[in-house]
Each structure stands twice: as C-alpha cells, then as structure tokens.
Amino acid sequence: MASGVSICAGADRQREGICEASGSRPDGKAGSKSCGRSYGSACGGLRIPSGCAIAGVISKKGKSIPGDLIVRSMTTMHDRSNGLGGGFAGYGIYPQYKDQYALHIFYDTMEAREACEKYLNRVFEIVNLSKIPIRKSPKIINEPLIWRYFVSPDHNRLADSQLDEKEYVVRAVIHINTNFKGSYVFSSGKNMGVFKAVGYPEDVGEFYRLEEYEGYSWTAHGRYPTNTPGWWGGAHPFSMLDYSIVHNGEISSYDANRRFIEMYGYKCTLLTDTEVITYIVDFLLRHQKLTLEETAHVIAAPFWSTIAGKSEEEKAKYTYLRNAYSSLLITGPFSILLGFEGGMMGLNDRLKLRSMVVGEKDDMVYIASEECAIRMMEPGVERIWAPRGGEPVIVKLDSLAEKEAAEQCR
C-alpha cells in the first residue's frame, strides 16, 4: 500500500443569483425551473468553512460490506455538509449482472425516459431494466424518475464503430448527457453503482435503501456547495465507467483542466469542478495507460524544488509527467477519493490543505475526512494516520494485487 491521501470537502460555491434550495441551474438547462427540472431541497442553515465530508471503506479480501456501514459513518460528519447533496458509490453490489454495464439514469419526465430508452435500445442490448428501489422520505424531495439498466453494447454496432467496448460505452453516456434534454446518466460501470441526491448523506442512504446492498468497497460524500448550485446531478460521486470521484476542495485550475480534457471528447455539463477530475482520471488511466501512482503525480505533481532533490531516475520521470500533462495539474486545496474496480485511492493536494485520515484493522482500510467517521465504522481500529500531501494512498483487493504482481514477474 502506498502512502498519501485524498478525499472531499467543500468544492463548490453558490453562484450569485442561484437559488440552491430550488436546485436551479444558471444556464437554464438541467436543474433550472425554467426548463421544468425541479431537483432541489431545503437549504441547510449552519455554515462550515471547510465544507464537505468524505469517507471510504474497502475489504482487501473482498468481503461483503453492508451499505448501511458507510451511511452510519457519515452521520458523525453531518455538520460538514448542508443538505444540498449526498451520495455513495458501491463496488461489487451487482454480482448477478457483473458482466453488464449498470446504467443509473435520472429522468425529468416520462417523455425524456421514452426518448432515451429508444436510443438505449439502438446502441445496447438491455438485459434488465427497472426503477431503482427507493424509500419515500420528506427529507428528500422533488426526486426525478430514477431508473437502472443492465446493458451490453450491441454486437453489430460495436463492430461497426471500431471502438473498444469501454470507449463505446463512454461515448454513448456523453451523447445522452449532452443531447438528451431531461436525461442524465450518473453511473455506468460494471458491478458497481452510484446513488446520489439533494439531501444530507444519511438521508440519501435511507432514501436509496442502501442497507439492502452489499459490496467489497464503498465511498461516500456529504456536499457543502461553495461555487455551484445544489441539484441532483451536481451531487457526488461523479462517475465514468467504474471510476468514481468524491472531492473536497476548490479547484482553481478548473478552466485549464476543462479546456484540455474537452479536446478529447469529454463534455463538462454538470456545473461543478469535481466533474472534470473524473474525466482526467479516465483519460490518464484508460487512454494514457498511466499507473495510479503516475496519475496521482500528474494531478498533484511535485513542486519543481521537490523534483530537484530526487534521484536522476525519479527526476526524469516526474519532469516528463509535469511537462507532458501540465494542463492536468490540479491546483487549489483538495482531497479526493477515487473508487475503481478492485480498489480505492486517496489523494491530497501538495500542501495538504484539506483533511484526510486513514485507518486499518485486519484486511479493512478506512479513509475519511475525520477520525470519528472511521471509529463509527470500526471502534477497534488498530492504526490511524494522516497521509502527507501529494502522496497517494492506494488500496487494492488482494486478488488484484496478486494478479498484478504475477504479471510483473513474467
């Protein structure tokens, strides 16, 4: 396991003239009352300067973890969010459909659903579809239609596209989110799913009945918007394929990051800086084939003065990464938690301006904004520490780590 850290706290600020309680969006598109979308909730009252709460848990042996464990951890950090967004990502939760992509989709209206499903039927083979089960609550209001589809790319269309399977799915997701008004795909990985809403995270967990799910890893987020409106699509986690991001911080490099990543077909449409981190991770890991460590050293690149003190081999590597991907350096205070198939990674900014704590017991690893969240999940946690800024904490399933080690030995 590498040392380092990252998670989430306050990466969004209310824009002037935007009513966060209504969930309205400033561009008149998804989320604004003018276009009919009513994603919203009552505003929180207490203001916490450092913003959001994040948490994650993983069993390295792949043991099943009930969803209500991560929900309970978020109750201890209630005051780090203000009711304008909460969410969770679970891995290993759909073993019966592990070979299909699980698309979770918000719809404004039945008409939006019908239009989107026509497209889905053209480009995918739909194995199963249903509403995502929810538990009605007065604490979660104005919910959209929330549907789930287990799909595989249409064999003939995939062959004609000359794309690999993952790129085919990514392009379909971006096409829906960009061109289908009133439809938003917020989760698209295999054997994983994102569940998010406008509300406090513990209420969101109850709303989605997460106690009925089990997975080997979970991440969670409680939102405290600081520069964007609170609406259903803007809640964390943000996801693309099996990558999911929860984030706490303020990205001052957002415009430079967005301009670069949109040159490669991604579209930032959700009015929050966290969205661009998700696409950066997908681009570096899937397209550029970087390792998790290399990706971390692009996002939170060492200072030039730090690189100067490295060995010649390390100096050459870090210099290359800084020069080749200079537009993907994320500046400003942040901590992020990345979930992926078979593992989890935490990362802080280089100066560690956002809190993150890591705990361990047996095969379990916990990461959170505050130690109290870890102790809520495991009162007998055996080791607690705070990673240094800019150094990733990478946790993988034992089975994945063993497979990668065997491949390196060949």
52 catalytically annotated = yes
Residue partners of 4: CB distance under 8 A and separation at least 6: 296, 346, 347, 348, 387, 388, 390, 391, 392, 393, 394
pLDDT of residue 50: 58
Question: What amino acid occupies position 367?
Answer: I
Question: What amino acid occupies position 28?
Answer: G
Q: What angle do CA 299, 300, 301 make, to 5 degrees?
A: 100
**Stretches in the chain below the pLDDT threshold 50:** 1-49
pLDDT of residue 7: 30
CA–chain centroid gap for 160, Å, is 31
In 134-242, DSSP assigns E strands to 145-153, 183-187, 192-197, 214-215, 217-222, 238-240
Under a CB-based contact definition with an 8 Å cutoff, are residues 238 and 337 in contact?
no
Residue partners of 104: CB distance under 8 A and separation at least 6: 132, 146, 147, 148, 185, 186, 187, 188, 193, 194, 195
Report the distance separating Cα 271 and Cα 224, nearest Å. Answer: 14
pLDDT of residue 189: 98
Instruction: Report CA-CA distances (Å) from 240 to 22, 118, 159, 267.
Output: 27, 22, 22, 12
Instruction: Report CA-CA distances (Å) from 395 to 11, 64, 112, 344, 358.
Output: 24, 16, 39, 5, 11
Beta bridge partner(s), residue 365: 58, 360
Angle between helices 312-324 and 292-299 (to 10 degrees): 60
Domains and CATH numbers, the chain: 33-409 (3.60.20.10)
Is this model's pTM higher than 0.95 or not? no
Under a CB-based contact definition with an 8 Å cutoff, are residues 33 and 79 in contact?
no
Beta bridge partner(s), residue 312: none
pLDDT of residue 219: 97
pLDDT of residue 225: 77
First-to-final CA distance of the chain = 22
Averaged confidence pLDDT in the chain: 87
Catalytic residue among 52, 116, 372, 409: 52
